[in-house]
Chains A and B, each alone.
Chain A
Amino acid sequence: MRREAPKSVADYAPLVFPGFMLVAFFVVPFGTMVAVSFFQRQQGGFYTPAFIFDNYERFLSAFFGGVLGFSIMLAVMVALVCVAIGFPFTWLISKASRRVQVVWLVALLSVLSLSEVIIGFAWSTLFSRTAGITNLLVWAGLMAEPRALFPGFGAVLAAMVYQALPYTVLILYPAIVRLDPTLTEAARTLGASPLRAFFNVVVPGLRNTIVATLIMVFVFALGAYLLPQILGRPQHWTLSVLITDQAIYQSNMPFAAAMAVFLVLMSLGMVGLTLLVGRKGEAA
């Protein structure tokens, strides 16, 4: 449907309310945060207006560099694992009957209703020595004695993948269902085994969807805050944990703001980079 371009000021009237909301609840707070990130911190808890780069300079320390690097690495790993599991999984669901599809999708959606806290403590129980899954392995004779699987990187990664997987499947599902099924059939008549057809036809055919999903999950995982604290050691804490620590416990608002701004810029940068790479691949 084609509409006429707005001509008078009155035509823009419907935009006033969403515009106001956007400014009041996004632009203003974000602007405040950007401003605060340049302020001078006062010893003892508060800050005074200034325009200094001290807060950003602190990133150059090895400690913050390490935390930032870990946060990005964790988010990338979560995105990769989610897509590596979610893509074949969604493809298999899409081949199943309507009823099986509905059951799976409802089950996945119900995971979304769980709060991060519940997910964190559920996994900490599952990974514990006394009541964890290793007890099952011992019972099955695969392991000598039960063992705690957390705190540790594996536990953080597992719980974050668990949390992000429903999103992954929900983003992939519509695109996978829309993919022409005769493409794989054609590949098979041309001599490709079902597995080969999947990698030669389904994966490249949905490359843009896969890239979009990776970005989504990456951004989602970059803000992880609770799970690294519940299931990880201090070296597995992400930038979000440090931001909270600085803002609330150290009362260093300017530095917390600077980290938050930096995190947003990093996410935008990664998204931009991925899109750029994607576009180049398309042109080739």
Chain B
Amino acid sequence: MTGLALKAITKQFGDFKAVDNVSLDVPQGTFVCLLGPSGCGKTTLLRMIAGLEEPSSGQVVVDGQDITATPTHKRDFGMVFQSLALFPHLNVGDNIAYPLRIRGASKAEQSARVDELLKLIHLPDFAKRPVAKLSGGQRQRVAIARALAISPRLFLLDEPLSALDAKLREAMQVELRQLQQQLGITTIVVTHDQREAMTMADLVVVMGEGRIRQAAPPVEIYRRPADSFVAGFIGSTNLLAVESDSIGRVTALGTALPDVAMVDGARTATLSVRPEDVQITVPGEGVLAGTVTFVRDLGGTIETFVDVSGTTIVAVTTPRERTDLAAGQTVGVRIPAQSAVVLKS
């Protein structure tokens, strides 16, 4: 068995459970994003995988071998910290060569590997530069190269791109994903940015309050969120309270929605529908009647806010689809059954 397995990991700080009974299987070569709001335990979980925190209970298994008690420096992992933690007293080359030097590699081996890595991160001839003279993106790459120097069994990154500006961050996301695919290394990234997770991950693990709320490929997380927490955290969504009426139909805001099925055995639930799936039509059968309250025309997309009996539903369309709505207009809101997800509430 290869890859990483977390078995019922719990981390307790006093009375507070930072990580609560987390189990996860990560196949070899998978890119995993631990995603969640701050304080959800994702960084603590990563630090436990790295050995920087000790789990209160549970096991960390890598390649079939229980490493829960192995000290950090014997795990042969590569980790990139949020602060990057480049050693300020060493130049770029010495920073990257540090893990090799510790393992007693010869000078020639070290410099050969450093050159190879610098080429990989598109910074050739940077070996002699002081770390302080690098730009944010360059420091980022050096930190990545240093973590990859020993070809680690596991590549861990804690909010690696949070210090970069938006444009550079998007570029680095693509670059990091390509690098990971090129090396085929099992990678775990902690992030609170759902775009980042969607861009890079094979497997997105959404965490909330110390627990895994859903672990699935990005598109499935987006299309089939497991609960309203996941639906609300990934992208924007409309959450509506629904209930089944006397003849078994699902109703939202007093209107029956055709073809929408209730979750098993529940009377009430929450319905999630993405703004781009909401259709705006004329009022009629099976359609929620509402009033347009605001139209936000962003050029590329148009967001229409419709008030339906006190609840605001947002619809996103492209300008080609419709351009003639204005605030105050009465419209119908159609929620297509195939794109609506009914969640236990």
Contacts and interface: CB of A to CB of B under 8 A. Distances in A.
A188 B72 contact: yes
A161 B82 CA distance: 40
Interface in A163-197: 180, 182-183, 185-194, 196-197
A181 to B, nearest CB: 9
Nearest to B98: A190
Interface stretch (A120-128, A199-207, A267-275): A199-207
Contacts of A197: 73
Given A186-B79, A187-B98, A188-B52, A193 B85 contact: no
Interface in B122-148: 146-147
A196 B85 contact: no
Contacts of A193: 71, 73
A100 B83 CA distance: 27
Given A189-B52, A190-B99, A196-B102, A201 B87 contact: yes
Nearest to B78: A189
B102 A191 contact: yes
Interface in B276-312: none
Size bracket, chain B contacts: 20 to 34
Contact of B102 (A182, A192, A205): A192
B83 A189 contact: no
Nearest to A190: B99
B167 interface: no
B89 A205 contact: yes
Contacts of B78: 189-190
B229 interface: no
B88 interface: yes
Contacts of B71: 188, 193
A136 to B, nearest CB: 38
Interface residues of A, number: 20
A190 B89 contact: no
Contacts of A205: 87-89
Interface string A18-48: 0000000000000000000000000000000
A207 B89 contact: yes
A180 B146 contact: no
Interface in B59-115: 71-79, 81-83, 85, 87-89, 98-99, 102-103
- Tell me whether chain A's interface is mostly helix, strand or loop, or mixed: helix
A22 B265 CA distance: 88
Given A196-B102, A201-B87, A204-B89, A188 B73 contact: yes
B118 interface: no
A189 B102 contact: no
A189 B50 contact: yes
Contacts of B75: 189
B81 A186 contact: yes
B263 interface: no
Contacts of B83: 180, 182
A196 B101 CA distance: 12
A191 B87 CA distance: 14
| Most-contacted residue by chain B among A183, A189, A193 (CB, 10 A) | A189
B150 interface: yes
A205 B150 CA distance: 24
Given A180-B85, A204-B89, A207-B89, A189 B77 contact: yes
Given A185-B52, A186-B79, A191 B85 contact: no
A173 B140 CA distance: 30
A197 B89 CA distance: 13
B209 to A, nearest CB: 25
Contacts of A182: 81-83, 85
Nearest to A201: B87
Contacts of A186: 79, 81, 85, 87
A2 to B, nearest CB: 25
Contacts of A180: 83, 85
A187 B99 CA distance: 8
B102 A183 contact: no
Interface string B17-54: 00000000000000000000000000000000011100
A183 B85 contact: yes
B53 to A, nearest CB: 10
A190 B103 CA distance: 10
Interface in B145-187: 146-147, 149-150, 156
Contacts of B149: 190
Contacts of B150: 190-191
B49 to A, nearest CB: 11
Given A190-B146, A191-B150, A196-B102, A185 B73 contact: no
A197 B98 CA distance: 11
Contacts of A192: 73, 98, 102
Contacts of B51: 188-189
Q: Lowest 3 A-B CB distances belong to which pairs?
A: A186-B85, A190-B99, A189-B79
11 contacts: A185-B81, A188-B73, A190-B102, A191-B73, A191-B99, A191-B150, A192-B98, A196-B102, A200-B87, A204-B87, A204-B89
Interface of B: 50-52, 71-79, 81-83, 85, 87-89, 98-99, 102-103, 146-147, 149-150, 156
Given A190-B149, A192-B102, 7 more contacts: A180-B85, A185-B72, A188-B52, A189-B147, A190-B73, A196-B102, A201-B87
